[in-house]
Amino acid sequence: MRYQNATAYRFLAPYLLIFSIFWLWPIISSFLISFQATRTVPWRFAPTFNWGRLIGDPAFFNALKNTLLILVIQVPVMITLAIVMAVLLNSPLLKARGLFRFAFFAPVVVGEVAYSAVFRLMFNLDYGIINKLLNSVGLPRIDWFSNVTPAMAVIMIAVTWRWAGYNAIILLAGLQSIPQDVYEAATLDRVSKLKQFFYITLPLLKPIIVFCAVLSIIGTMQLFTEPFLITERGGPGGGTETLGLLLYRQGFRSLNFGYASAIAYTMAGLAIAISLVQLWLTREPK
Amino acid sequence: MAAVTLKNVVKRFGVFEIVHGANIDVNDGEFVVFVGPSGCGKSTLLRMIAGLEDISGGEIAIAGKVVNNVEPADRGIAMVFQSYALYPHMSVEQNLSFGLRMNGNPKADTERRVKRAAEILRIAELMKRRPRQLSGGQRQRVAIGRAIVREPQVFLFDEPLSNLDAELRVQMRVEISRLHKELGVTMIYVTHDQTEAMTLADRIVVLNAGNIEQIGAPLDLYDDPANRFVAGFVGSPKMNFMAAKVVGNDGAVTVELANHCGAKLRKPLSGAAPAVGTEVVLGVRPEHFFEAGEGDCDIAVKADVAEHLGSVSYVYANAGPEELIIEREASRQRANGDHMAVSIKADRSLLFDKSGARIR
Ligand SMILES: Nc1ncnc2c1ncn2[C@@H]1O[C@H](COP(=O)(O)OP(=O)(O)OP(=O)(O)O)[C@@H](O)[C@H]1O
Ligand SMILES: [Mg+2]
């Protein structure tokens, strides 16, 4: 047994080495850096320097507010949408199932820059298709990128478009693991399709839904691409700046690594905390 | 309570016809078992009665009313699935009451029905558990309980015992029999196990490849099978079939057993006897071999293997290309390779033509 363990570790060694250097060390290092003043040369240890600034920084709270706002609106909407898509994909009435499955999954593999450019074009004030559509049904055009609320909406729509299908595919696997005869038994029990969905499908799908929600919470906490590329670095005027963007701005524009590390740890802590609350709220009753 | 009538019922999946015009009359309160080899269409037939499969042709009536286009829930049936199909996220109690609760049944009545089902099936102490915390037999009981609370006119069972071990199967078999007596309702039961069919049924429907081979009381099927398939399917161990040729035709028929040194059996028939020279098959059940000299035709065999079950032994004797199974009262001395002589009685053997039809 001992010997086998030792052999196993020898096989694991290359991975563990790389993991330690490129994952473990940065994690520890950035934690240490967050306690240092990094805009003096040399860096000096100042435990409250960055963390103290964080507590009183309006830019941080603005980014936190934006991130949480996107989280509480976009994640539930996307998960709901993903469930609906999964149920439709699972329907025996659906033709060309494989095509739809691919189409729903495709956004994930599209390059981020390309997709962001397309979204910017679609929501363009003068010749974007969205405004054309609004016009054609008699609604006024919206200046999507100059006002905070529409800009936030664009971010949420874009993120939802990109990840709903991905979640739907995961949920579809969950749906397919529910045995058919349970539904047949319910049909014999005179339970309508709708009630079957709420009383059988949803409860049985719950662990997968929670899994998707936790993944999405972690993803949204780190949201960066969309506000960086679509609303041009959190515009208008920081209105869509997220924690990820603030981190980038502090770390790589101002080269303030200490503060950026403190923000990074806050993001990770929040993601863990929210996920734990979520898991606790949806735990199996014993 | 209700009778169930199937009239020329046909089932097709695409171009494949699975059930070829089934006619079955199940009387009110009767226990009917559909039996047949795997894939013969038993489940399909049952699911058509339940309304879980469309009927491609013909008519199914329950309690005198044609139900071809009636919703499953409105047919007055309850079904017990082979896989139990319990709701995994609900307690036993919730499993039993789910259907009633969803349909706004008065609470007091739901409770009464659940309590009664729990008493009948002796699962009262399991009510708070989830299905995964139950043994196979307990799950089966809950599945039956869920059928009972619906107070159906007809119970449908699809191989309800096939996931249980042998001992539990016998025990549940007795319980289902008791349930039928207690509730007195019509029950249709699907199995591929002929022992289950023989012990439970008032009448058995023998199916083969989508055709009904015979319908009758268990002992009628045993004593008087309509054809070689039924003769081989009913009874355990299987009936022995021996190649034979008609050599005499003088009111009674005389057949010569091809693989037994020309042993001859004279057998009176009620119908027309086949012509001399016709190849036929003689069927003899393992339990219908007698001591040499006691019957109408003695044959000599060489015992290959003997299975001693205690009360009886089964001797597997290889005579030419035909293996014979011979039941003997347990005698411990019989060793492999023994030569023995057994006797066949004319009235304890059956004659079939080449196509498998009975020659009476
Ligand atoms: N949905 C379906 N589509 C096509 N063919 C089917 C379908 N369901 C069943 N069949 C075919 O119908 C035939 C009868 O199936 P059925 O399930 O009724 O058999 P069974 O007698 O219940 O067998 P078993 O003892 O194995 O349960 C089989 O040949 C099966 O392949
Ligand atoms: Mg079956």
**Side-chain half-sphere CA neighbours of B117 within 13 A:** 27
The stretch A10-18 carries a mean pLDDT of 93
Mean of all residue pLDDT scores within chain B: 90
For A143-156, what is each residue's pLDDT tens digit? 888 889 999 999 99
The position carrying tokens 């735990």 is A283
Report how far apart, in Å, the C-alpha atoms of B292 and of each of A143, B301, B318, B340, B345 are.
106, 11, 18, 9, 11
Cβ B168 vs Cβ B137: under 8 Å: yes
Cβ B285 vs Cβ B295: under 8 Å: no
Ligand 1 contacts (CB < 6 A) are B 13, 18, 36, 38-44, 192
Band (pLDDT 50/70/90 cuts) for residue A81 is very high
Whole-angstrom Cα distance, residue A261 to residue A258? 5
Band (pLDDT 50/70/90 cuts) for residue B335 is low
pLDDT computed for residue B302 by the predictor: 85
Band (pLDDT 50/70/90 cuts) for residue A279 is confident
Angle subtended by helix axes A148-176 and A112-122, to nearest 10: 130
- Token pair, residue A19, equals 């993991």
* Torsion angle in degrees (nearest 10) through CA of A52, A56, A58, A64: 70
Q: Where are the domains of chain A?
A: 1-26, 58-281
The stretch B123-149 carries a mean pLDDT of 91
Percent pLDDT > 70 in chain B is 97
Alpha carbon A249 to its chain centroid, in Å, reads 20
Band (pLDDT 50/70/90 cuts) for residue B272 is confident
Strand-strand pairing, B203-208 and B31-35: parallel
Band (pLDDT 50/70/90 cuts) for residue B1 is low
Q: Looking at the predicted structure, is the pLDDT value of residue B102 above 70?
A: yes
For A17-64, what is each residue's pLDDT tens digit? 999 999 999 999 999 999 988 888 888 888 888 888 888 889 999 999
pLDDT computed for residue B164 by the predictor: 84
Whole-angstrom Cα distance, residue A170 to residue A213? 11
Architecture, CATH, for domain A58-281: Orthogonal Bundle (1.10)
Mean of all residue pLDDT scores within chain A: 90
The position carrying tokens 């107070």 is B151
Cβ distance of B98 and A204 shorter than 8 Å: no
Q: Looking at the predicted structure, is the pLDDT value of residue A106 above 70?
A: yes
Report the candidate in A179, A197, A184, A200 with the shortest Cα–Cα distance to residue B77.
A184
Whole-angstrom Cα distance, residue B308 to residue B329? 9
pLDDT computed for residue B331 by the predictor: 67
The strands making up B252-257's β-sheet, listed across from edge to edge, are B264-268, B252-257, B240-250, B279-284, B350-353, B358-359
Q: Does B316 touch chain A (CB under 8 A)?
A: no
pLDDT computed for residue B338 by the predictor: 79
The stretch B81-87 carries a mean pLDDT of 91
Out of B33, B35, B44, mutate this one to test ligand 1's pocket (max ligand atoms within 8 Å of CB): namely B44
Cβ distance of B99 and A190 shorter than 8 Å: yes
- Token pair, residue B48, equals 């058509």
Which of A188, A200, A203 has its CB closest to that of B72?
A: A188
The stretch B27-55 carries a mean pLDDT of 94
pLDDT computed for residue B334 by the predictor: 63
Report how far apart, in Å, the C-alpha atoms of A142 and of each of A133, A145, A153, B194, B212 are.
11, 9, 11, 75, 72
Q: Looking at the predicted structure, is the pLDDT value of residue A286 above 70?
A: no
User: What ipTM does the predicted assembly reach?
Assistant: 0.84
Between A210 and B337, the higher pLDDT residue:
A210
Q: What distance in Å separates residue B199's CA from the closest CA in chain A?
A: 27
